[in-house]
């Protein structure tokens, strides 16, 4: 019973830690590196930097979630879909008339998820390779 509770808490903590890394990475990218990031307000260069920053943030978050998980690392990286979807839903729900198009926000979320899946996959691949 105690080990089940501990395992559950560790799984939740792994996903929350992964999402915290994603949140910090995207905030850093979109406020420090790019400035006022948005579809209509950013130059093409800033959009590329923002996209690469989101991909790197997702990758780092997936790595953290998968690495902290006791078992099933790829499932924990994939579980980041829940907080990312909730975050995206809150952004879309609070969007005003002058906000980014829906496809832009959904595309950004997809990039974060892609990075997270790749991060989880890298952890799984690393554990499966024989030590040299």
pLDDT for 72-83, tens place per residue? 999 999 999 999
Whole-number pLDDT of residue 1: 80
* Percentage, residues of the chain above pLDDT 70: 96
Count Cα neighbours of 9 within 13 Å in the Cβ-side half-sphere.
6
> In whole numbers, what is the pLDDT of the chain averaged over residues?
89
pTM of the shown model: 0.87
When pLDDT is cut at 50, 70 and 90, the band that residue 91 belongs to is confident
Which of residues 93 and 128 earns the better pLDDT score? 93
What is the dihedral angle through the alpha carbons of 127, 130, 131, 132, rounded to the nearest 10 degrees? Answer: -140
Residue 130: pLDDT band with limits 50, 70, 90: low
Burial class, 82, CB count within 10 angstroms (exposed 0-12 / middle 13-18 / buried 19+): exposed
Provide mean pLDDT across the span 51-62: 96
Confidence of residue 123 (pLDDT cuts 50, 70, 90): very high
CA contacts within 13 A on the Cβ side of 4: 1
pLDDT of residue 16: 96
What is the rounded distance in angstroms from the CA atom of residue 93 to the CA atom of residue 15? 24
- Structure confidence at residue 59 (pLDDT): 97
């Amino acid at each position: 019973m105690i080990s089940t509770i501990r395992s559950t808490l560790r799984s939740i903590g792994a996903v929350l830690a992964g999402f915290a890394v994603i949140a910090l990475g995207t905030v850093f990218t979109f406020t420090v590196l790019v400035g006022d990031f948005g579809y209509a307000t950013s130059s093409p260069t800033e959009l590329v930097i923002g996209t690469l920053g989101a991909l790197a943030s997702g990758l780092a978050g997936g790595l953290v979630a998968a690495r902290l998980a006791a078992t099933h690392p790829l499932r924990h990286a994939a579980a980041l879909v829940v907080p990312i979807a909730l975050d995206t839903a809150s952004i879309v729900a609070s969007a005003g008339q002058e906000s980014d198009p829906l496809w832009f926000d959904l595309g950004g979320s997809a990039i974060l998820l892609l990075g997270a899946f790749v991060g989880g996959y890298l952890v799984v691949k690393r554990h499966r390779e024989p030590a040299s």
